[in-house]
Chains A and B, each alone.
Chain A
Amino acid sequence: MNLADSTPAMNSLLGSEADSQRTLYPYVTGTSVVGIKYKDGILLAADMGGSYGSTLRYKTVERLKPVGKHSIIGASGEISDFQEIMRYLDELILYDNMWDDGNSLGPKEVHNYLTRVMYNRRNKFNPLWNSLVLGGVKNGQKYLGTVNMIGVHYEDNHVATGFGNHLARPILRDEWHENLTFEEGVKLLEKCMRVLLYRDRSAVNKLQIAKITEAGVTISQPYSLKTFWDFSAFKNPTVGAEGSW
């Protein structure tokens, strides 16, 4: 029994009229985002799938977006909530620009803002159902952080959301090192994304890689990974147990 739910404050929030006003469960979702620091900045990777439960409904969802001059955001979870977050961020960057004082929000500041937004929504029992990756470079300082729907946040040299935490982080812990070149970084991310493609049911084989350096943001055109099904176990899957599948 959740004691917190039985207080007078919670009763009105949990009544059925209030239910239509709060996020109860996600509808259209994106899967993992993976991010790494490399020599010149940050690399993020995410596929372009938008799942509607078990249906792969949308196959060209851009889950990586630039934020201002110094940051990129990658989102997994509810796509409509990500679009709402982009509206919040666009407003944030607009007000930042309107000061016209030569100052601009860096990735650390944007990450902190997002953390506060996510935590505050969780406090009101109406979360933005996302796990976000925020990366960027400002004045030579690289920054890579993540925050999820209940406000848990941290920064590290490599981060991932959802399934990426289980499948990609171990690869990154083994093979990431300081001063990866761009080519090495992309190869490492592709290795992670390939494992996710093999093992995550909601992954699709159409992905983008986003790069941010002091010079600016580049988000690649969508492309597919080569997959390898030539393993002998895949060729004769029922050998040793004829009649099974």
Chain B
Amino acid sequence: MTKQQANWSPYDNNGGTCVAIAGADYCVIAADTRMSTGYSILTRDYSKISQLADKSVMASSGFQADVRALQKVLAARHLIYQHQHNKQMSCPAMAQLLSNTLYYKRFFPYYAFNVLGGLDNEGKGCVFTYDAVGSYERVGYSSQGSGATLITPFLDNQLKSPSPLLLPAKDAVTPLSESEAIDLVKTCFASATERDIYTGDKLEIVILNASGLRREYMELRKD
């Protein structure tokens, strides 16, 4: 009697792309709002961005149910932190928490591909990029999700980021202004939408700076 194989998968890929770019005193986090399964679009208006703390915003693509569960776990942990420390978590602290939370489920992972963006303790923009099981690093910009393979080379070209192997370490944060970075993000998504079937419908952009948090939207192709 051969062992029964499961004929259902606990995972699904609901698609979508996320991007984050760090500036000298701002951070731009963006994601499309399309949610798909297989060759169908489930909804055109679903946010993948979640504000975890005052100065930390996470964008996640992948399996939507896991993404939502991850957002809830982090929100709950942040609330406990606030009760215990009487202050907001800093972005680097949240980055470590996200990594630990992902690794906690190393043997039944959250199928979530995350970029965490925000302002560090000095007010400079920071971006952290993750894989599904929590390995992370701080970078100047990052892209995750179905359109990442299309966007990352374009960002490499436009942002001319210094090699992380240089000594002394050169800052990867972009010298671009906030509005230039936002335009760059819009260009990334317009291009990715052309060639990636899972990216499109609408773009949600969150901008974090000293004055707080701001949201912008842009229509994308719906085909």
Contacts and interface: CB of A to CB of B under 8 A. Distances in A.
Interface of A: 2, 4-5, 7, 9, 14, 16, 19, 24-25, 115, 119, 122-123, 125, 127, 149-156, 165-166, 169
**Majority SS at the chain B contact face:** loop
Given A119-B69, A122-B10, A166-B40, A154 B4 contact: no
Contacts, number: 64
B108 to A, nearest CB: 5
Nearest to A4: B108
Contact of B3 (A16, A125, A152, A165): A16
A178 B11 CA distance: 34
A5 B1 CA distance: 19
A122 B7 contact: no
A10 to B, nearest CB: 8
B107 A150 contact: no
Interface stretch (B42-50, B53-61, B157-165, B176-184): B42-50
Nearest to A23: B8
A245 B11 CA distance: 41
Contacts of B40: 165-166, 169
A16 B12 contact: no
A152 to B, nearest CB: 5
A16 B1 contact: yes
Nearest to A6: B107
B6 A125 contact: yes
Interface string B1-38: 10110111111101000000000000000000001010
Nearest to B46: A154
B107 A7 contact: yes
Contact of A9 (B8, B12, B14, B107): B107
